[in-house]
Structure 1
Amino acid sequence: MFYWRDLADVPHDFGPSVLTLGNFDGVHRGHQRVLEHLVEAARKRDAAAVAISFDPHPAQVHRPDSAPALIMGLEDRVHTLAETGIDGVLMMHYTLDLASHTPEEFVEKVLVNALHACAVVIGHDVRFGRGNSGDLETMRALGHRFGFEVLAIDDFAASVPLATGDGEATRRCSSTWVRESLEAGDVETAARILGRPHRMRGEVVHGAKRGREMGFPTANLSNDAEGYVPADGIYAGWLLDGSGTRWPAAISVGSNPTFEGVSRQVEAHVINRPEEEISAFNLYGQRIVVEFVQRLRGQITYTGPEALAEQMWLDVDRSRQVLSTDLQASG
Structure 2
Amino acid sequence: MIVFDAPEAVPADFGPSVVAVGKFDGVHAGHRALLQRARRDAERLGARVVAVTFDRNPLRTVRPEICPDDVVGPSQKLDLLAEAGVDACLLLRFDAQRAAQTAEDFISEVLVQALDARVVLVGRDFRFGNRGAGDVAMLEAAGARDGFVVDVVGDVHPDAAERRVSSTWVRELISAGDVAGAATLLGRSPSVRGEVVHGLKRGRELGYPTANVGGAVEGLIPADGVYAGWLVDGGERHPAAISVGTNPTFDDVHHRQVEAYVLDRDDLDLYDHRVDVEFTQRIRGMVAFEGIEPLLAQMADDVRQARGILC
TM-score by length of 1: 0.91
58-67 vs 309-318, which moves further: 58-67
Q: How far apart in 2 are the matches of 1:112 and 1:291?
A: 39
Q: Is the 8 A contact 1:248 1:272 kept in 2?
A: no
Gaps of 5+ in 1: 160-167, 325-331
Q: Does 1:314 align with 2:301?
A: yes
Corresponding residue for residue 5 of structure 2: 5
Within 5 Å, which residues of 2 pair with 1:77-116? 77-116=77-116
Q: Deviations over 1:175-194 (max 9, x none)?
A: 00010001110001110000
Q: How far apart in 2 are the matches of 1:216 and 1:261?
A: 18
Corresponding residue for residue 124 of structure 1: 124
Q: Does 1:215 align with 2:202?
A: no
% identity of equivalent residues: 48
Corresponding residue for residue 242 of structure 2: 251
- Select which of 280, 285, 288 maps to 2:272: 285
Q: Deviations over 1:186-211 (max 9, x none)?
A: 00111000000001110001111111
Q: Does 1:235 align with 2:227?
A: yes
Q: Does 1:197 align with 2:183?
A: no
Amino acid at match of 2:237: R
Alpha-carbon offset, residue 118 of structure 1: 1.1
Alpha-carbon offset, residue 267 of structure 1: 0.4
Amino acid at match of 2:230: W
Residue 163 of structure 2 aligns to a residue in which SS? strand
Corresponding residue for residue 54 of structure 1: 54
Residue 171 of structure 1 aligns to a residue in which SS? coil
Alpha-carbon offset, residue 170 of structure 1: 4.2
Alpha-carbon offset, residue 20 of structure 1: 1.3
Q: How far apart in 2 are the matches of 1:85 and 1:169?
A: 27
Q: Deviations over 1:36-86 (max 9, x none)?
A: 001111111111111100012211111223311111111110011001112
Q: Deviations over 1:270-306 (max 9, x none)?
A: 1033xxxx44x11111111100000010011100122
Q: How far apart in 2 are the matches of 1:198 and 1:140?
A: 35
Corresponding residue for residue 329 of structure 1: none
The RMSD of aligned alpha carbons is 1.2
Corresponding residue for residue 164 of structure 1: none
Alpha-carbon offset, residue 124 of structure 1: 1.1
- Select which of 252, 260, 264 maps to 1:261: 252
Q: Is the 8 A contact 1:143 1:150 kept in 2?
A: yes
Amino acid at match of 1:218: T
Q: Is the 8 A contact 1:103 1:134 kept in 2?
A: yes
Q: How far apart in 1 are the matches of 2:74 and 2:98?
A: 19
Q: Deviations over 1:293-327 (max 9, x none)?
A: 00010011100122111100000000000112xxx
Within 5 Å, which residues of 2 pair with 1:136-155? 136-155=136-155
Q: Does 1:305 align with 2:292?
A: yes
Amino acid at match of 1:216: Y
Alpha-carbon offset, residue 145 of structure 1: 1.5
Alpha-carbon offset, residue 223 of structure 1: 3.7
Corresponding residue for residue 17 of structure 2: 17
Alpha-carbon offset, residue 169 of structure 1: 4.4
Q: Is the 8 A contact 1:223 1:265 kept in 2?
A: no
Q: Deviations over 1:1-34 (max 9, x none)?
A: 2211111210011111111111101000000000
Alpha-carbon offset, residue 266 of structure 1: 0.7
Q: How far apart in 1 are the matches of 2:243 and 2:27?
A: 25
Q: How far apart in 2 are the matches of 1:84 and 1:134?
A: 27
Q: Is the 8 A contact 2:62 2:99 kept in 1?
A: no
Size of the alignment, in residue pairs? 310
Q: How far apart in 2 are the matches of 1:318 and 1:170?
A: 33
Corresponding residue for residue 133 of structure 1: 133
Q: How far apart in 1 are the matches of 2:161 and 2:297?
A: 38
Q: Is the 8 A contact 2:7 2:109 kept in 1?
A: no
Amino acid at match of 1:36: Q
